[in-house]
Amino acid sequence: TEVSLLEKKPWQLQGEVTAQKRPENSLLEETLHFDHAVRMAPVITEETTLQLEDIIKQRIRDQAWDDVVRKERPKEDAYEYKKRLTLDHEKSKLSLAEIYEQEYIKLNQQKTAEEENPEHKEIQKMMDSLFLKLDALSNFHFIPKPPVPEIKVVSNLPAITMEEVAPVSVSDAALLAPEEVKEKNKAGDVKTAAEKTATDKKRERRKKKYQKHMKLKEKEKRRKLLEKNNPDQAGKYTKAVASEKLKQLTKTGKASLLKDEGKDKALKSSQAFFSKLQDQVKMQISDAKKAEKKKKKRQDISVHKLKL
């Protein structure tokens, strides 16, 4: 029922319970099941003692003395120990991977040196010569083998480079990262005019100005190179010469200079520009009205003039 469920649980069902939380001597009434972490000592009886005696007697007969040999720590001075240690305080020029690689190569070379026994080599040579002679005796159409120069290939490469990462048929492009295939855009993500922020616009403006500056610099460089190559026409490409030429053309009437008599100075602010534009529009309207009035006067014929 609900009442029994809501009631306080007995200490047996409360999980981990300490001695303070349960009643006194309550654990004596319970039957508990628990595991021993350590192997239980055998109960000493007459049978067990007889078995132990038999084992000891058998060991004496077999002379199996496998008692632990006591080891003594050698007494050593700290100074002597320090003398034996040779510490290198200089920074290692090799990386950790290269150090491991060298150790691995040394181990491999030692193994190969151990494997190649000179006696085995000599036996192999003798066997080869014997087999050749036997072949020459037994075969009617014997063709001797051509002399092959002894070549020993020593590869000081690490094991990783020796292994094939991918089959030969597979393209190397699959092993490259996306940034290696196509360079990342330095300006960032491509944005439309609406998406661009004020900083993006300023960046673009700076970029354009820089490009313009570089073009002018390149132009000046080309001009100087031309002057250097053609010393006769040294002053031909300068700005002063160009302005002088323009003056001569205007004098002869071949060209005319466009002059704005201080108008651009007055219209530097937007307010001045729009006010002038408004005045111009007003003037145009008034001129149009005057023209219409004159036209009407001409068209209107006076009645008095038509009287007989």
What are 102-111's pLDDT values in tens digits? Answer: 888 888 777 6
pLDDT surpasses 90 at 296: no
Are the C-beta atoms of 12 and 30 separated by less than 8 Å? yes
Count of domains observed in the chain: 1
Domain span at 16: 7-31
The more confidently predicted of residues 204 and 171 is: 204
With respect to residue 60, please indicate whether it lies within any of the assigned structural domains. Answer: no
With respect to residue 13, please indicate whether it lies within any of the assigned structural domains. Answer: yes
The H helix count followed by the E strand count for the chain is: 12, 0
The more confidently predicted of residues 105 and 256 is: 105
With respect to residue 15, please indicate whether it lies within any of the assigned structural domains. Answer: yes
Q: Of the ranges 23-27, 77-81, 89-93, which is most confident?
A: 23-27
pLDDT surpasses 90 at 217: yes
pLDDT bin (cut points 50, 70, 90) of residue 15 is confident
Cα(186)–Cα(188) distance, rounded to whole angstroms? Answer: 5
With respect to residue 231, please indicate whether it lies within any of the assigned structural domains. Answer: no
% of the chain exceeding 70 in pLDDT: 70
**Gyration radius of the chain over CA positions:** 55
pLDDT for the residue numbered 266: 54
The more confidently predicted of residues 280 and 179 is: 280
**Average pLDDT of the residues of the chain:** 77
| Tens-digit pLDDT profile for residues 148-168 | 666 666 666 555 555 555 555
Mean pLDDT score, 137-150: 71
With respect to residue 262, please indicate whether it lies within any of the assigned structural domains. Answer: no
CA angle in degrees (0–180, nearest 5) for 113-117-123: 150
Cα(131)–Cα(135) distance, rounded to whole angstroms? Answer: 6
Mean pLDDT score, 246-266: 62
With respect to residue 21, please indicate whether it lies within any of the assigned structural domains. Answer: yes
Q: Which distant-in-sequence residues (6+ apart) come within 8 Å of 203 by Cβ?
A: 187
For residue 262, CA distances in Å to 22, 259, 270, 280, 288 come to 107, 9, 16, 17, 28
Q: Which amino acid is at 29?
A: E
Mean pLDDT score, 170-195: 72
Mean pLDDT score, 232-259: 68
pLDDT bin (cut points 50, 70, 90) of residue 241 is confident
With respect to residue 159, please indicate whether it lies within any of the assigned structural domains. Answer: no
pLDDT for the residue numbered 308: 54
pLDDT surpasses 90 at 3: no
Taking the mean position of all CA atoms in its chain, how far away is CA 48? 72
Q: What is the pTM of this model?
A: 0.24
